[in-house]
Amino acid sequence: MTGETDSLELNDRQKTRLLSLGLEPDRPVTPPDENEQRGDLLCDILRCPLPADVSEHGAVPPGVGKPCPGFRTVAGPPLGELLQDPQTEVAVLRRVKEYAKSLGCNAGSEVEKDVFLAVYFAAIAAAMVFHNELITEHFARDLTQFLDSFAQAAWMPTDLKDLFSSGQQAISNAGLEG
């Protein structure tokens, strides 16, 4: 059973919420707080593939809210895999970054903006960690602060927390100034 639930990529708070629903089904459901909303939306987005043409978007991806496993063979791996795979090319990570940036600009809430910003910085961190390439014009000092903030976020899945921490270390190891 553990192997089956690990592939869901839920954070601890989400697992606890799901377990409490199973243990106390008659208890009134409290609406999720903003951190839970961020975690839920992020997990949904990370399960969806990068659109073939990043210029043709402006809204939340069509599969957000439900996993997209059926599209895997047609549309490619989900964003979460692209961000965690050392074989993902820098050009693809740039596309993920630009995709998240444009969706963040069109976000309808602070929760959505925060989530798309996390995906944006995860792409930057992945490029540094896996390719030792900086794909942003942000100053290194500011970048490490952003990465640290996301690495500490309660709503962030563990694998992305690790990526953000590794990104900080890669920036430090590269001796980038600014």
Name 153's bridge partners: none
Confidence check: pLDDT of 174 > 70 = yes
Overall number of domains in the chain: 1
Q: Report the alpha-carbon distance of residue 177 to residue 174 in Å, rounded.
A: 9
> pLDDT by residue (tens digit) across 12-64?
666 776 776 677 767 766 777 889 899 999 999 999 999 876 454 444 444 44
Contacts 24+ apart (CB under 8 A), 71-77: 75/49, 75/50, 75/51, 76/49, 76/50, 77/49
Provide the percentage of residues in the chain whose pLDDT is more than 70.
Answer: 72
Question: Is the predicted pLDDT of residue 65 greater than 70, yes or no?
Answer: no
> From residue 69, how far is each of 37, 89, 133 by CA, in Å?
22, 22, 30
pLDDT reading at 67 higher than 50: no
The token pair at 43 is 């997990």
Strand-pair partners of 78: 49
- Structural domain of 83: 2-174
Please answer whether residues 40 and 60 qualify as being in contact, where contact means their C-beta atoms are separated by less than 8 angstroms.
Answer: no
Tokens representing residue 39 in the block: 């975690």
Lowest mean pLDDT among 23-27, 41-45, 83-87, 168-172: 23-27
Each residue's pLDDT tens digit, 93-141: 999 999 999 999 999 999 999 999 999 999 999 999 999 999 999 898 9
Query: What is residue 22's predicted lDDT score, i.e. its pLDDT?
Result: 73
**73 pLDDT tier (thresholds 50, 70, 90):** very low
pLDDT band at residue 76 using 50, 70 and 90 as cut-offs: confident
The pLDDT of residue 110 is 94
Q: How far is CA 40 from the centre of its chain?
A: 11
DSSP-derived secondary structure letter, 139: -
pLDDT of residue 8: 58
